[in-house]
Amino acid sequence: MSAAPAPPPDTRRTRLTAILLMCAAVLCFALLDASAKWLGGSMHAMQVVAARYLISVALVSTLLNPWSRPGILRTRRPWLQGFRSLLLLISTGLNFIALKYLQLAENVSIMFATPFLVALLAGPILGEWAGPRRLAAIGVGFIGVLIILRPGFGGLHPAALLTVCGCFCYAFYSISTRMLAASDAPETTMFYSGIVGAVVMLPLVPLFWSWPADGASWLLMLSVGLFGALGHWLLILAHQRAPASMLSPFNYSQIVWMVALGWFVFGQIPDGYTFIGASIVIGSGLYLLYRERVRAVPEGSARLD
């Protein structure tokens, strides 16, 4: 069968723009984690979480609010919206606590296991059961995570277990996002993601608040909200221009930024086990994405690789 014709120049340009937007979003998330790790050395992690939500919501609300977008609060599944938003809040909190003790690259390498958990959970929850090849990729990916963790061999700090728990929360968050996609608008889901976390965190702020020691700390507190809001905005713009199957592999470019920021800001270089495990996890994840693309293409049709 002959190969499919190349897409027109406008389509290629749009896809390239989408990829660049995706890479920029991933950079924002890496800067968010680096800022949170730095702040974690001088203030309570929950204060950083509160700054992340309150500042982000304040910024996002200038564009997404009930006045500029009438009906944005209207949801057919309010309980699922609330549950999903709480999952994201818990995952963020666990991630920020773990970052106080883990290197950036170690933390994100464990979080890369999320696609494997989603693929496993999609079976009993959504009825999307993984085939033998995908199950094999999932198994290999978890071996990579075990190499990073090295349980029982004096591997990572016990805080890595918090990242693992956060990974499970984020996997359920991803599943619930897919469930809501059938009933609610993306803007509605994004709005609830921020506002629920902000409402939960606001009354808790006095319990762990400490005044930032200097101007740099204030700036970093602002940056965690800015990078979070900007990253999600860029993510939306990217997915408006290209399918998720094309953009998802670029999530793994975050490991490059994490290693660079870990070395430049904190003077930390991941050990060989982290590099080996991360390589296995990334390779397995890319194969999983490839299998998703194969399943999405009707039999007998041409496919762009």
- Given a cut of 60, whether residue 298 has pLDDT beyond it is no
Instruction: Give the confidence band of 288 by pLDDT, cuts at 50, 70, 90.
Output: confident
pLDDT one-digit tens code per residue, 105-160: 999 999 999 888 988 888 888 887 888 888 898 899 899 998 988 876 666 788 99
Could you give the angle at the alpha carbon of 89 between the alpha carbons of 78 and 51, nearest 5°?
120
- Average pLDDT value for the chain: 86
Q: What is the pTM of this model?
A: 0.86
Instruction: Give the confidence band of 296 by pLDDT, cuts at 50, 70, 90.
Output: low
The DSSP secondary-structure symbol of 242 reads S
- Given a cut of 90, whether residue 259 has pLDDT beyond it is yes
pLDDT one-digit tens code per residue, 213-233: 888 999 999 999 999 989 888
pLDDT at 295: 63
Tell me the domain boundaries of the chain. 18-296
- Given a cut of 70, whether residue 208 has pLDDT beyond it is yes
- Given a cut of 50, whether residue 299 has pLDDT beyond it is no
Choice among 9-23, 193-207, 252-266 with the minimum mean pLDDT: 9-23
pLDDT at 302: 33
H or E element at residue 127: none
pLDDT one-digit tens code per residue, 44-92: 999 999 999 999 999 888 887 788 888 888 899 999 999 999 999 999 9
C-alpha distance from residue 129 to each of 108, 172, 292, 293 (Å): 26, 16, 12, 15
Whether the CB-CB separation of 177 and 81 falls below 8 Å is answered with no
